[in-house]
Amino acid sequence: MIHFRMKNNIGSVTVTDRILEMAALALAVFLVVLAVALYHYLPERIPVHFNSVGEADGWGGKGMIFMLSALGVVAMAICSAAAYNYKMVNLPFSLNPACLSQQVTIIGRMMRVLSVLCGLLFIALMLMTTVPQWGMQSVFFSFFLIVMTSMTVVLIVYTVWVYKKGRQCR
């Protein structure tokens, strides 16, 4: 049914990978702490949706801050799990069995970096809910855009890197 239940970690895990995992864990804890800390300072109605220029166009109760925190932790957990199970990652090409270990190592690194970026993305989103109170709309929206751009670049660069590694082993 679900083909990626078994652990398929055949790549190597470096010190950098462990540092990325610790950073992701710290960001996950920070997401929860930030939600608890912000909850008491938020008004009853907070912005929960923003348009393309960063202006709030959807509102919800202040308890939605916990939903953002939970979604961030779940997204980070999925990325972290995919770092150890390459079959959870859907790439637009087949992996080369001749250099599968090297490709899986790169995929694992990509997913760890994405996990950290997911944490930063949800921190940006949580801070954007405080924008009307703090008057820092442009700062948090810029941070959000930088993180989104970084995620896109990481996905493209690492996917090309995995593809090229597979082509080298032929």
How high is the pLDDT of residue 20?
95
Percent of the chain with pLDDT over 70: 89
Q: Would residue 10 count as lying in a domain? A: no
- Nearby residues of 72 by Cβ (< 8 Å), 6 or more positions away: 28, 31, 118, 119, 121, 122, 123, 125, 126
Q: Could you tell me if residue 141 is inside a domain?
A: yes
Look at residue 67 and tell me whether its pLDDT is greater than 50: yes
Residue 138: inside a domain, yes or no?
yes
User: What is the span of the domain harbouring residue 32?
Assistant: 15-168
Q: Give the pLDDT mean for 35-48.
A: 84
The Cα–Cα gap between 125 and 128 comes to 5
pLDDT at 2: 42
Mean pLDDT is lowest, of 44-48, 53-57, 87-91, 163-167, for 53-57
Residue 138: the pLDDT is 73
In angstroms, the CA 145 to CA 61 distance is 25
In the predicted model, what is the mean pLDDT of residues 19-43?
92
At 93 the pLDDT is 92
Q: What is the pTM of this model?
A: 0.85
Whether 2 is covered by a domain: the verdict is: no
Crossing angle (nearest 10°) for helices 64-84 and 100-128: 170
Nearest residue to 144 (alpha-carbon basis) of 126, 167, 169, 158: 126
Judge whether 132 lies within some domain: yes
Indicate the average pLDDT of the chain: 86
Distance CA 139, CA 164 (A): 37
Residue 96 lies in a domain: yes
Rg (CA), the chain: 18
How many angstroms separate the CA atoms of 156 and 154, rounded?
A: 6
Our count of domains for the chain comes to 1
1 lies in some domain: no
Evaluate whether residue 44 is within a structural domain.
Answer: yes
